[in-house]
A and B are shown apart, each in its own frame.
Chain A
């Protein structure tokens, strides 16, 4: 039925699998690419490959980085007593952009979700516990999304991580309910960080 050559429909379906690219945009991008000067297209393809090859997860915090440990973990001027716990690596970018947080990060890799079969063992909790024994962390700030799973995961972690001399707090203030950090703008984020609420007891 389709009048398009196979090479183009294949490209469209590959693009369509990308986040935020619907069938229409996929088609538009594909048609643009096949009509673009081939050196420019090659540059794009090389950039994609190179980025994919260079980027890895930081072995310590789980951030996206070119070298492990990542620049944040390696930065001695950052406050190692503050550890901000986020769901996904991209959440670090949101918080960094707000420019108010001077501590370090830990990526959990998701949240506990019985309906999706995600259990504590599927998250980077053991890595976090190890860091708590090795690093001079005094406060863990839980910055998970504020939906039911995010709230339950935070409650679970608050209990599981509890130990002498460690403060555990949660930011939820001002974050739109049910949304991840991705949707929070910089102002609400920095306000949230100031207004964090202690979870112990």
Chain B
């Protein structure tokens, strides 16, 4: 799949932008603070309706303007037209000219995987970051997972509200516990099935990038060890003092081990960075395997941080993208762009909220 056209109005530092993109490898070159990452943010936004910078809609409106528009044409199995408008008063999202009523009808129209420096949090951050990683991947590959997750979180919130009452009605608490267990078990099952498929992909990616001897292993760490009903009942006393639901998939984690040792605790900075990229590569490979076409890859800055040897680990993924007529967008500054990767790349010059095709195909060396 690829993004064939991108249209922005008052998005970040772009007053207006209309640009066509072919499939293939696009390099967005420019000095700092010109708007390279903003382009990736807009594409990711169209795919997921969120910013990968973790900010709300208001921040993406160009300073002094009322609202932003982001839209474009996606070509995959068929063509789709995305239009979204966001302002403090109005939010519109339409697909092929029709307003989107249910999120699940929309998500999947454009699939992306983003590589950015914040990915390091996958290794260093709390379990929440890793859960979100798993949930996003499952939402993108397993029909029904997203609504299931939303229902489950609603059950957790409802149950926590009950636990906060002075004397929760036991019969009522039981009724919400039943929901929690039923929905939670489905989530656990889905995550349990995913990890063994994802783990080998991540291991391979890690090996490819690092050329190192250490082995990566991923291990799903559910808070429920065997029986949710029993373990929830056992946690009742602790629940009463914390006034929170303490066991369940909303507390799960994903262990990342290098040579059987926790990467977060014992890994070097370089190992952590490599591991974060390997996870994202595994995500991209997994999506490609499921959907038969590669997601659009959005690679922000990470290349500059890697040496040429490690960067070469990206080649198979880029190759695959080419084979399946996918698309890659990569940002870099003139000083650090990975010349050895650029065989058939399209160069764009990003300058103060404008994008200009630099119609040169470069095969290495300074132009």
A residues lining the B interface (CB < 8 Å): 112-115, 119-120, 147-149, 151-153, 155-156, 159-160, 177-178
Q: How far is the CA of A153 from the CA of B157 in the complex (A)?
A: 15
A121 nearest CB neighbor, chain B only: B169
A113 → chain B closest CB, angstroms: 7
Contact in complex: B161, A115 (CB < 8 Å): yes
B210 interface residue, CB < 8 Å from A?
no
Q: How far is the CA of A152 from the CA of B151 in the complex (A)?
A: 12
Contact in complex: A155, B175 (CB < 8 Å): yes
A178: chain B residues at CB < 8 Å are: 147, 151
Contact in complex: B171, A159 (CB < 8 Å): yes
Best-buried of B158, B161, B171, B178 by chain A (most CB within 10 Å): B158
Interface membership of chain B positions 170-208, coded 1 if the CB is closer than 8 angstroms to chain A and 0 otherwise: 011011101100010000000000000000000000000
What are 26 A-B residue pairs whose CB atoms fall within 8 Å in the complex? A112-B172, A112-B175, A113-B158, A114-B159, A114-B165, A114-B172, A115-B161, A147-B154, A148-B151, A148-B158, A148-B179, A149-B154, A152-B176, A152-B179, A153-B175, A155-B175, A155-B178, A156-B172, A156-B174, A156-B175, A159-B174, A159-B175, A160-B171, A177-B147, A177-B151, A178-B147
B95 interface residue, CB < 8 Å from A?
no
A146 nearest CB neighbor, chain B only: B151
Contact in complex: A114, B158 (CB < 8 Å): yes
Q: How far is the CA of A149 from the CA of B155 in the complex (A)?
A: 8
B224 interface residue, CB < 8 Å from A?
no
Interface membership of chain B positions 143-155, coded 1 if the CB is closer than 8 angstroms to chain A and 0 otherwise: 0000100010011
Contact in complex: B147, A155 (CB < 8 Å): no
A152: chain B residues at CB < 8 Å are: 155, 158, 172, 175-176, 178-179
B158 → chain A closest CB, angstroms: 5
Q: How far is the CA of A11 from the CA of B287 in the complex (A)?
A: 54
Q: How far is the CA of A156 from the CA of B165 in the complex (A)?
A: 18
B157: chain A residues at CB < 8 Å are: 115
B75 interface residue, CB < 8 Å from A?
no
Q: Which of B151, B155, B171, B183 touches A156 (beta carbons < 8 Å)?
A: B171
B162 interface residue, CB < 8 Å from A?
yes
For the complex of A and B, 9 pairs with smallest distance between CB atoms: A114-B161, A156-B175, A155-B175, A152-B175, A148-B154, A114-B162, A152-B176, A114-B158, A148-B155
Q: Which of A119, A147, A153 touches B151 (beta carbons < 8 Å)?
A: A147
Q: How far is the CA of A119 from the CA of B161 in the complex (A)?
A: 11
A156: chain B residues at CB < 8 Å are: 171-172, 174-175
B290 → chain A closest CB, angstroms: 24
Q: How far is the CA of A177 from the CA of B152 in the complex (A)?
A: 13
A149 nearest CB neighbor, chain B only: B158
B158: chain A residues at CB < 8 Å are: 113-115, 148-149, 152
A112: chain B residues at CB < 8 Å are: 172, 175
Q: How far is the CA of A120 from the CA of B165 in the complex (A)?
A: 14
Q: How far is the CA of A9 from the CA of B175 in the complex (A)?
A: 47
Contact in complex: B172, A151 (CB < 8 Å): no
Known: A148-B158, A155-B179. 5 other contacts (CB 8 A): A114-B176, A115-B157, A156-B171, A156-B172, A177-B151
Q: Which of B154, B169, B176 touches A120 (beta carbons < 8 Å)?
A: B169
B148 → chain A closest CB, angstroms: 10
B174: chain A residues at CB < 8 Å are: 155-156, 159
A114: chain B residues at CB < 8 Å are: 158-159, 161-162, 165, 172, 176
B179: chain A residues at CB < 8 Å are: 148, 151-152, 155
Q: How far is the CA of A160 from the CA of B172 in the complex (A)?
A: 10
A160: chain B residues at CB < 8 Å are: 171
A155 nearest CB neighbor, chain B only: B175
B158 nearest CB neighbor, chain A only: A114
A74 → chain B closest CB, angstroms: 34
B172: chain A residues at CB < 8 Å are: 112, 114, 119-120, 152, 156
A162 → chain B closest CB, angstroms: 11
